[in-house]
C-alpha cells in the first residue's frame, strides 16, 4: 500500500521501456532487481535448483546413516564438519536436522517456490496474453522475500547448535525445546509466507484482470487454471500457518504456553501450565494438507498441457479437469485432520474426515482418467517432456492408491508415522511433482532460454529416476506395514527390524545412484542454457497457446507488436485436417467449437 504511488510511476517508466526494448538496462536491473516476469521466473527456478541440490544431498547423508550405521563418514568432514562425531559417525541431533532441512527445503523452497514461482511467473502473462504481471513491483518483492527466507535458512545451517531439528512440521513441545536453529527456521518461513502471499495475490489478480481480448476463462490453458487455484489455496491457508507460528513464537520467546502443558524434560520438571500441542497440529495441518495440493496442482496443469501438445490430441474432458481442480481446492480444506487420527480426536469427528479424505479420490481419479484418455490413441511424440509427464501419471496413481489406505482411520492408526507414510508422500507428492517440474522445464526451456536441453541425457535421467524412485520407495511400504517408524536415527536396538538391514543398504545404494543422475540433469540444464542447440522456429512443439506466438527470445513486454487476440480454446489439435490450430486463428465460417456437436443431418 505504502508504495502505490511509486509503483505507478514505475509502470509508466516501464511502458517506455517496452517501447524501446532494453534500453537503459544494466546488469543489476536486468538480472537482479528485474521486474520482468520471465526473469523473475528464472530467478525462482535457479534458486529452487540450488536448494534442491542441497536438500537432496542431505537425504543422501541421512540415507548413508540408515543404510550403513557403522560406516566411517569422516571423509565427509570437509562439508559436514561438526555434524560428525570424532569417530566419523553422524551426530544424532544432526540426523534430525538433516531430515528437517530436507523436508522443509523440498516441500517449501523447491516444490512450492521453485515450482509455482517459476511457472506462475513465466506462464501466466505469456499464456493469457499480458505484457507482464498486474504488479511487477510486487512480483519482484515476492522473489526478494523468498531470497531473504533462503538466506536466513542458509545461515541457520552454520550456527553452532545447528539448524532446526523438529521435523518439517515443527510440532511442539519438541520445537519449543530447540535452540536458535528453530528461531531462524520460524523467521525464514515467515518471510517465505510473505513471498507466497505476494506472489499469489499477483497471480490471481493477473489472471482475472489482465487477459487479452477473447481470452475468456474457459479459453485458458489448464496450466493457468491449475496455477490459479494453487494461488487461491495458498492465500487461504498460509495466513493460518502464520497464526500458528505467531503462537509458537510467543511460546518460545515470550513465555506463554499456548501449546505447552506441564513437561518433564531430562528429568527436569517445566511448569508450563495448560496449553495444548494439538492446537498447533490443527493450525499446521490446516495449511499442511492444502500445501500438498499447492505442490501438486501446478504439476498437474503442466502435465495436462504437455500430454495434449505431444499427443496432438485435445485434452480429454477440459471442463471436467477444471471442475476437478475446483473440487480438489474445496476438499483440500476439509481433510486436514487425517494427519491427526492418532491425536485422540473423537472417533465421530474422525469419521467425517475419513469421508472427505476419501472423496478427494474422486476428482483425482477423474484427472487420471482424463490424462490417460488424452494420450490414448494419440500421435504421441515420446520426447523427454512427454516421458516425464507419463512418469508423473504413473507416480500419482501409485501414491494415490496408498493414500486411500491411509484415509481410513482404522488402517492409518497402524500405519501412522511409519515408513508407509514416507513411501506414500514421496511417491504421490515428491517424485510426482518433480516429474511435473521436469516436464515443464523441458517443454518451456526453448521459450525461457532460446535453446533446447540435451535429449539423450534427459532420457537417461528419466529412466534412472523413474525406476530408482520405485526401487527406493516401494520397499518402504512393507517396512511401514511391519511397523518401522519414520524419523529414527538408527534401528540397531530393535530386533524386530533387523530383517530390514539389507533392505536399508539396498535403498541407500539406489539413492546414491539416483542422486548422481540428478546431478547429471542439473549439468544438462546449465550446459544447455549456454551451449544447447539453438531454437530456430518460434513454435517448436507445434502448440496452440499464446506463448509460442512471441519471438524466440521475447523481450520485456513479450510481444513486439500488439498483443494477439484469441479466438478459440487452447486444445484445437487434430481438427479439420490440421495438426494444430493456434488460439490466434479466427474460427472459420461454419467451424464448430470443440464442445458443439454437429447438427444432425436432415433426413428427408
Partner 1 sequence: MSELSLNMQSHEEKQLFARSFALWIALGAILMMFAGLTSAYIVKKADSGTWTNFTIPGIFYISTLVIILSSVTMFGAQRAFRKGWMAGYRNLLLATLALGALFLALQIEGWMQLKAQGIDMVEEISGAFFYVISGAHAAHILGGIVILLIMILKISRRIKKQNTEAYLTSARKLNVTLMASYWHFIGFLWVYIFLFLLYNHN
Grid cell at residue 452: 533446447
Q: Which stretch binds partner 1 (CB under 8 A): 129-137, 349-357, 422-430, 499-507?
A: 129-137
- For residue 180, the minimal CB distance to partner 1 (Å) is 22
Contact partner, 364, from ligand HEM, partner 1, Cu ion, none, Cβ < 5-8 Å per class: ligand HEM
Closest residue to ligand HEM in the complex (CB)? 403
Task: Please give the residues from 183 up to 202 whose contact with partner 1 meets the rule CB under 8 A.
Answer: 197, 200-202
- For residue 94, the minimal CB distance to partner 1 (Å) is 33
Q: Which residues bind ligand HEM (CB under 6 A)?
A: 169, 292, 295-296, 338-339, 357, 360-361, 364, 400, 403-404, 406-407, 412, 415-416, 421, 424-425, 428-429
Task: Please give the residues from 288 up to 307 whose contact with Cu ion meets the rule CB under 5 A.
Answer: 289
- Check binding of 419 to partner 1 (CB under 8 A): no
**Secondary structure letter of residue 84 according to DSSP:** B
Length of the chain: 604
Which of 102, 131, 313, 416 lies at the binding interface for partner 1 (CB under 8 A)?
131
Alpha helices in 272-408 (DSSP H): 277-311, 318-331, 347-375, 384-407
- Check binding of 79 to partner 1 (CB under 8 A): no
Which of 256, 343, 490, 574 lies at the binding interface for partner 1 (CB under 8 A)?
256
Task: Please give the residues from 263 up to 322 whose contact with partner 1 meets the rule CB under 8 A.
Answer: 273-276, 279, 282-283, 286
Grid cell at residue 235: 492465500
Contact partner, 482, from ligand HEM, Cu ion, partner 1, none, Cβ < 5-8 Å per class: none
Percentages (nearest 5) of helix, strand, coil residues in the chain: 65, 5, 30
- For residue 44, the minimal CB distance to ligand HEM (Å) is 20
Supply the angle between the helices 222-253 and 118-128 in degrees, to the nearest 10. Answer: 150
d(CA 441, CA 89): 38
Compare residues 149 and 201 and give the one whose CB is closer to partner 1. Answer: 201
d(CA 525, CA 29): 24
Contact partner, 561, from ligand HEM, Cu ion, partner 1, none, Cβ < 5-8 Å per class: partner 1
Contact partner, 346, from ligand HEM, Cu ion, partner 1, none, Cβ < 5-8 Å per class: none
Compare residues 212 and 398 and give the one whose CB is closer to Cu ion. Answer: 398
Compare residues 289 and 313 and give the one whose CB is closer to Cu ion. Answer: 289
Grid cell at residue 396: 500419482
Question: Residues 206-245 vs partner 1: string with x where CB under 8 A?
Answer: x-xxx------------------------xxxxxxxxxx-
- Check binding of 80 to partner 1 (CB under 8 A): no
- Evaluate the CA torsion angle 55, 240, 348, 335 in order and state its sign: negative
Task: Count Cβ atoms below 10 Å from residue 161 Cβ, excluding itself.
Answer: 14
d(CA 277, CA 246): 14
Do 153 and 184 meet the contact criterion of CB atoms below 8 Å apart? Answer: yes
The residue whose grid cell reads 525445546 is: 177
d(CA 473, CA 506): 11
Compare residues 407 and 468 and give the one whose CB is closer to ligand HEM. Answer: 407
Distances, alpha carbon 444 to alpha carbons 2, 38, 131, 271, 452, in Å:
36, 11, 18, 57, 9
* CA torsion, ordered 453, 454, 457, 463, to nearest 10 deg: 60
d(CA 570, CA 566): 9
Residue 144 backbone phi and psi in degrees, to 5: -70, -25
- For residue 567, the minimal CB distance to partner 1 (Å) is 18
Question: Residues 558-587 vs partner 1: string with x where CB under 8 A?
Answer: ---xxx------------------------
- For residue 96, the minimal CB distance to partner 1 (Å) is 27
Q: What angle do CA 377, 382, 383 make, to 5 degrees?
A: 145
- Check binding of 15 to partner 1 (CB under 8 A): yes
Residues lying near Cu ion in the complex (CB under 5 A): 289
Amino acid at each position: 500500500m505504502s508504495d502505490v504511488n511509486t509503483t505507478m510511476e514505475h509502470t509508466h517508466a516501464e511502458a517506455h521501456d517496452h517501447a524501446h526494448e532494453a534500453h537503459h538496462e544494466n546488469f543489476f536491473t536486468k538480472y537482479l532487481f528485474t521486474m520482468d516476469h520471465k526473469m523473475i521466473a528464472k530467478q525462482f527456478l535457479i534458486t529452487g535448483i540450488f536448494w534442491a541440490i542441497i536438500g537432496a544431498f542431505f537425504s543422501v547423508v541421512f540415507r548413508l546413516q540408515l543404510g550403513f550405521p557403522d560406516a566411517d563418514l569422516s571423509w565427509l568432514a570437509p562439508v559436514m564438519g561438526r555434524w560428525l562425531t570424532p569417530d566419523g559417525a553422524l551426530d544424532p541431533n544432526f540426523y534430525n536436522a538433516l531430515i528437517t532441512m530436507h523436508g522443509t527445503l523440498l516441500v517449501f523452497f523447491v516444490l512450492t517456490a521453485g515450482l509455482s514461482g517459476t511457472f506462475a511467473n513465466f506462464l501466466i502473462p505469456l499464456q493469457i496474453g499480458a505484457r507482464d504481471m498486474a504488479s511487477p513491483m510486487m512480483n519482484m518483492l515476492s522473489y526478494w522475500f523468498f531470497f531473504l527466507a533462503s538466506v536466513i535458512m542458509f545461515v541457520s545451517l552454520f550456527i553452532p547448535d545447528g539448524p532446526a531439528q523438529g521435523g518439517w512440521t515443527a510440532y511442539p513441545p519438541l520445537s519449543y525445546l530447540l535452540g536458535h536453529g528453530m528461531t531462524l527456521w520460524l523467521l525464514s518461513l515467515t518471510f517465505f509466507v510473505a513471498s507466497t502471499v505476494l506472489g499469489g495475490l499477483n497471480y490471481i489478480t493477473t489472471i482475472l484482470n489482465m487477459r487479452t481480448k477473447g481470452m475468456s476463462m474457459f479459453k485458458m490453458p489448464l496450466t493457468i487454471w491449475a496455477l490459479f487455484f494453487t494461488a487461491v489455496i495458498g492465500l487461504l491457508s498460509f495466513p493460518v500457518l502464520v497464526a500458528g507460528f505467531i503462537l509458537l513464537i510467543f511460546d518460545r520467546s515470550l513465555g506463554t504456553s499456548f501449546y505447552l502443558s506441564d513437561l518433564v524434560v531430562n528429568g527436569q520438571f517445566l511448569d508450563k501450565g495448560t496449553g495444548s500441542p494439538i492446537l498447533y497440529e490443527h493450525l499446521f495441518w490446516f495449511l499442511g494438507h492444502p500445501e500438498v495440493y499447492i505442490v501438486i496442482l501446478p504439476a498437474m496443469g503442466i502435465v495436462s498441457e504437455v500430454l495434449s501438445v505431444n499427443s496432438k490430441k485435445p485434452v480429454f474432458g477440459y471442463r471436467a479437469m477444471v471442475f476437478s481442480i475446483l473440487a480438489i481446492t474445496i476438499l483440500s480444506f476439509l481433510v486436514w485432520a487425517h494427519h491427526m487420527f492418532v491425536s485422540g480426536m473423537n472417533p465421530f469427528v474422525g469419521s467425517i474426515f475419513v469421508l472427505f479424505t476419501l472423496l478427494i479420490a474422486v476428482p483425482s481419479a477423474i484427472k487420471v482418467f482424463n490424462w490417460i484418455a488424452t494420450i490414448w490413441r494419440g500421435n504421441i511424440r515420446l520426447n523427454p517432456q512427454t516421458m516425464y509427464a507419463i512418469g508423473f501419471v504413473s507416480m500419482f496413481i501409485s501414491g494415490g492408491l496408498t493414500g486411500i489406505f491411509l484415509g481410513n482411520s482404522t488402517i492409518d492408526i497402524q500405519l501412522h508415522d511409519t515408513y508407509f507414510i514416507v513411501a506414500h508422500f514421496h511417491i504421490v507428492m515428491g517424485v510426482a511433482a518433480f516429474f511435473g517440474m521436469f516436464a515443464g522445464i523441458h517443454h518451456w526451456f526453448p521459450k525461457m532460454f532460446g535453446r533446447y536441453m540435451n535429449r539423450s541425457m534427459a532420457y537417461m535421467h528419466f529412466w534412472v529416476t523413474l525406476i530408482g524412485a520405485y526401487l527406493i520407495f516401494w520397499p518402504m511400504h512393507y517396512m511401514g506395514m511391519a511397523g518401522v517408524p519414520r524419523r529414527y536415527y538408527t534401528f540397531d536396538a530393535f530386533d524386530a527390524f533387523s530383517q530390514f538391514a539389507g533392505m536399508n543398504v539396498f535403498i541407500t545404494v539406489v539413492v546414491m545412484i539416483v542422486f548422481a543422475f540428478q546431478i547429471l540433469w542439473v549439468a544438462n540444464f546449465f550446459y544447455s542454457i549456454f551451449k544447447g542447440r539453438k531454437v530456430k522456429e518460434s513454435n517448436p512443439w507445434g502448440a496452440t497457446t499464446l506463448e509460442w506466438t512471441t519471438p524466440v527470445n521475447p523481450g520485456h513486454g513479450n510481444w513486439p507488436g500488439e498483443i494477439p487476440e484469441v479466438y478459440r480454446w487452447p486444445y484445437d489439435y487434430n481438427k479439420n485436417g490440421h495438426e494444430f490450430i493456434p488460439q490466434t486463428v479466427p474460427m472459420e465460417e461454419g467451424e464448430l467449437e470443440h464442445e458443439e456437436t454437429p447438427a444432425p443431418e436432415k433426413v428427408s
